[in-house]
Chain A
Amino acid sequence: AQKVTQAQTEISVVEKEDVTLDCVYETRDTTYYLFWYKQPPSGELVFLIRRNSFDEQNEISGRYSWNFQKSTSSFNFTITASQVVDSAVYFCALSEETDSWGKLQFGAGTQVVVTP
């Protein structure tokens, strides 16, 4: 069963618009980690953020912000004032304690297209 769901396949925005990427996860563990990765057209995977299940504090890093809500099992990602360089596929991923850690389970990814 899919444990990480990214319902949005593709989002297209015009530069300077905000874009929010949804991520819903499923786990029975009380201890787990959530990640976001960016995959630009060049293909590499770029780490953006890691959150553990005990830290629900939202985070802002420059134009990026993350909203972690355990009550709804969601870990959403917002890009503020998008730029063309933000065009990429974004992946949400889960790592669970009872799964011996180490095994990242990815969502299907959301393609973000930012046009000038």
Chain B
Amino acid sequence: NAGVTQTPKFQVLKTGQSMTLQCAQDMNHNSMYWYRQDPGMGLRLIYYSASEGTTDKGEVPNGYNVSRLNKREFSLRLESAAPSQTSVYFCASTDISQPSNYGYTFGSGTRLTVV
């Protein structure tokens, strides 16, 4: 099925460990995003990539890095995980060059726990 695929779905890390969350979309979208969801706070933007080859910080970028590997893939890396990064992470994509079809497709989420 076409859409946004995130891996892994669940992960438990120890404080200080590193990991990379993977995201891939097969809709030929230009733009990709990483959000985190915490209770009572909605979704907050971590990083985004408006187009292949570009990345920019969102609202809560500290402690994260991203790589837009190609048009399809956008990864999120935690270099040294902290308990404050316990959250549900969502990847999303859209094609902002097509306003009439403007909409976001979200992945199913990664539930990350840092102990």
Q: Give me the interface of A with B, judged by CB distance under 8 Å.
A: 4, 9, 33, 35, 43-45, 47, 50, 52, 91, 93, 95, 100-109
The answer for the CA separation of A56 and B44 in the assembled complex, in Å, is 27
Q: Which residues does chain B contribute within 8 Å of A104, judged by CB atoms? A: 33, 35, 43, 45, 92, 104
Q: Which residues does chain B contribute within 8 Å of A52, judged by CB atoms? A: 99
Q: How many residues of B contact A (CB 8 A)?
A: 26
Identify the closest chain A residue to B45 (Cβ).
A103
Known contacts A43-B108, A44-B108, A44-B109; is-contact A106 B43 (Cβ 8 Å)? yes
Q: Are B102 and A33 neighbours in the complex by a CB distance under 8 Å? A: yes
Q: Return the CB mask of B82-115 against A: 1 if under 8 Å, else 0.
A: 0000001010101010010011111011010000
Q: Which residues does chain A contribute within 8 Å of B33, judged by CB atoms? A: 102-104
Instruction: Pick the contact of B31: A43, A45, A102, A105 (CB < 8 A).
Output: A102
The answer for the CA separation of A76 and B59 in the assembled complex, in Å, is 25
Q: Which residues does chain B contribute within 8 Å of A95, judged by CB atoms? A: 102
Q: Are B108 and A50 neighbours in the complex by a CB distance under 8 Å? A: no
Q: Which residues does chain B contribute within 8 Å of A103, judged by CB atoms? A: 33, 45, 48, 58
Instruction: Pick the contact of B42: A35, A43, A50, A108 (CB < 8 A).
Output: A108
Q: Give me the interface of B with A, judged by CB distance under 8 Å.
A: 31, 33, 35, 40-45, 48, 50, 58, 88, 90, 92, 94, 96, 99, 102-106, 108-109, 111
Instruction: Pick the contact of A43: B44, B88, B96 (CB < 8 A).
Output: B88
15 contacts between A and B (CB under 8 A): A33-B102, A35-B103, A35-B104, A43-B88, A50-B102, A95-B102, A101-B96, A102-B96, A103-B45, A103-B58, A104-B35, A106-B42, A108-B41, A109-B40, A109-B42
Instruction: Pick the contact of B103: A47, A105, A109 (CB < 8 A).
Output: A47
The answer for the CA separation of A101 and B44 in the assembled complex, in Å, is 15
Known contacts A91-B42, A106-B43, A108-B40; is-contact A45 B48 (Cβ 8 Å)? no
Known contacts A43-B88, A106-B44, A108-B41; is-contact A100 B106 (Cβ 8 Å)? no
The answer for the CA separation of A91 and B40 in the assembled complex, in Å, is 11
The answer for the CA separation of A93 and B94 in the assembled complex, in Å, is 15
Identify the interface centre among B43, B92, B108: most chain A CB within 10 Å of its CB: B43
